[in-house]
């Protein structure tokens, strides 16, 4: 892959440009003059020690948290630029930015298929949605998603009966039905078996190009599996980015992050 850091020329257009973003909580800079650029169709992995600002970064992109200064520009397909820093959470979501949290928010007492119907249009109420007659287009879309998340054989099972990993895939599927341009996924492999983790990696890789993805992850084996460009966040700032091999062997990255992998713990 071509490195774009210091060139104006790019062969792939950007979809997201985060420039000069700072966010303080009670005087503490959780995000500190952050610059981050995501290409259309890219799968980016973010790593970094606890408290580095990874989740806050996602909060800022999705409008859950507003930056004190800086801009978060979504580059629309039609050439328009939208500053997400000025919009509200639901408005940003409607622009095609979906986020998956660690704890899945699925309807346990509904089937896998119905969960996907419910996710088609969140502005309808749950009841309205269940009586909503899915169009052929909706059904085709749901079947496509079921294949991608490999839950086709489980479409009539109750979501509550799925394994931990399958529930996570269902939730990714519920984001997919909305046709997001950017997917933000925070620690997808947490709590998964090795097999589920590997399957999750395959799933995320299958989504790149059609979608742009930002994935935060702690599990370095998983990061190795999905890594394209990896960004290391430290003290709310980009410490390094590059290939997995590049960041993994970087002395500063080893010092602030990898050297402490033994006493890491997972959080949101």
Footprint on this chain of ligand ADP (rule: CB under 6 A): 25, 30, 48, 50-56, 267
Q: Which residue has the closest beta carbon to Mg ion?
A: 55
Q: Binding partner of residue 30 among ligand ADP, Mg ion, none, CB under 5 to 8 Å per kind?
A: ligand ADP
User: What distance in Å separates the CA atoms of residue 9 and residue 5, rounded to the nearest whole number?
Assistant: 10
SS3 123: coil
Contacts of 235 by beta carbon, 8 Å cutoff, 6+ apart:
29, 32, 52, 53
Q: Binding partner of residue 98 among ligand ADP, Mg ion, none, CB under 5 to 8 Å per kind?
A: none
Q: Binding partner of residue 261 among ligand ADP, Mg ion, none, CB under 5 to 8 Å per kind?
A: none
Sign of the torsion formed by the C-alpha atoms of 24, 61, 259 and 199 = positive
Contacts of 259 by beta carbon, 8 Å cutoff, 6+ apart:
none
Question: Minimum distance between the CB of residue 24 and ligand ADP, rounded to whole angstroms?
Answer: 9
Q: Binding partner of residue 25 among ligand ADP, Mg ion, none, CB under 5 to 8 Å per kind?
A: ligand ADP
Q: Which two tokens stand for residue 197?
A: 């983790």
Question: Minimum distance between the CB of residue 246 and Mg ion, rounded to whole angstroms?
Answer: 23
* Residue with Cβ nearer Mg ion (55 or 166): 55
* Residue with Cβ nearer Mg ion (101 or 132): 101
User: What distance in Å separates the CA atoms of residue 151 and residue 153, rounded to the nearest whole number?
Assistant: 6
* Residue with Cβ nearer ligand ADP (101 or 132): 101
Q: Which long-range contacts (CB under 8 A, 24 or more apart) does 8-12 make?
A: 10/39, 12/39, 12/40, 12/41, 12/42
Q: Binding partner of residue 253 among ligand ADP, Mg ion, none, CB under 5 to 8 Å per kind?
A: none
What is the phi/psi pair of residue 234, to 5°? -150, 125
Sort 111 into a burial class: Cβ within 10 Å, 0-12 / 13-18 / 19+.
Answer: middle
Residue 65 is a binding residue for Mg ion (CB under 5 A): no
Residue whose tokens read 């790019």: 10
Question: Minimum distance between the CB of residue 80 and Mg ion, rounded to whole angstroms?
Answer: 31
* Residue with Cβ nearer Mg ion (53 or 67): 53
Residue 197 is a binding residue for Mg ion (CB under 5 A): no
Q: Which two tokens stand for residue 249?
A: 């062997």
* Residue with Cβ nearer ligand ADP (54 or 99): 54
Question: Minimum distance between the CB of residue 54 and Mg ion, rounded to whole angstroms?
Answer: 5
Residue 55 is a binding residue for Mg ion (CB under 5 A): yes
Around 99, how many Cα atoms within 13 Å sit in the side-chain half-sphere? 21
Question: Minimum distance between the CB of residue 99 and Mg ion, rounded to whole angstroms?
Answer: 12
Question: Minimum distance between the CB of residue 59 and ligand ADP, rounded to whole angstroms?
Answer: 7
* Residue with Cβ nearer ligand ADP (114 or 241): 241
Q: Which residues of the chain form contacts with Mg ion (CB under 5 A)?
A: 54-55
């Amino acid at each position: 892959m071509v490195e774009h850091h210091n060139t104006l020329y790019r062969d792939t257009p950007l979809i997201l440009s985060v420039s000069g973003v700072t966010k303080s909580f009670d005087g503490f800079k959780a995000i500190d003059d952050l610059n981050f650029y995501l290409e259309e169709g890219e799968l980016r992995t973010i790593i970094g020690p606890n408290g580095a600002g990874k989740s806050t970064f996602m909060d800022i992109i999705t409008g859950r948290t507003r930056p004190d200064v800086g801009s978060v520009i979504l580059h629309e397909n039609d050439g328009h630029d939208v500053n997400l820093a000025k919009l509200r959470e639901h408005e940003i979501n409607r622009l095609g930015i979906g986020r998956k949290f660690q704890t899945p928010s699925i309807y346990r007492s509904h089937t896998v298929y119905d969960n996907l119907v419910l996710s088609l249009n969140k502005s309808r109420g749950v009841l309205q949605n269940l009586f909503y007659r899915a169009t052929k287009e909706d059904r085709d879309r749901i079947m496509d998603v079921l294949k991608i998340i490999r839950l086709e054989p489980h479409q009539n099972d109750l979501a509550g009966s799925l394994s931990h990993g399958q529930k996570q895939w269902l939730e990714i599927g519920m984001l997919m039905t909305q046709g997001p341009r950017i997917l933000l996924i925070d620690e997808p492999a947490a709590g998964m078996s090795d097999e589920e983790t590997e399957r999750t990696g395959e799933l995320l890789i299958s989504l790149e190009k059609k979608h742009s993805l930002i994935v935060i992850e702690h599990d370095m084996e998983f990061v190795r599996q999905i890594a394209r460009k990896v960004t290391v966040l430290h003290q709310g700032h980009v410490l390094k980015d590059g290939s997995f091999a590049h960041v993994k062997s970087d002395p500063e990255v080893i010092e602030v992050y990898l050297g402490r992998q033994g006493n890491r713990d997972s959080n949101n």
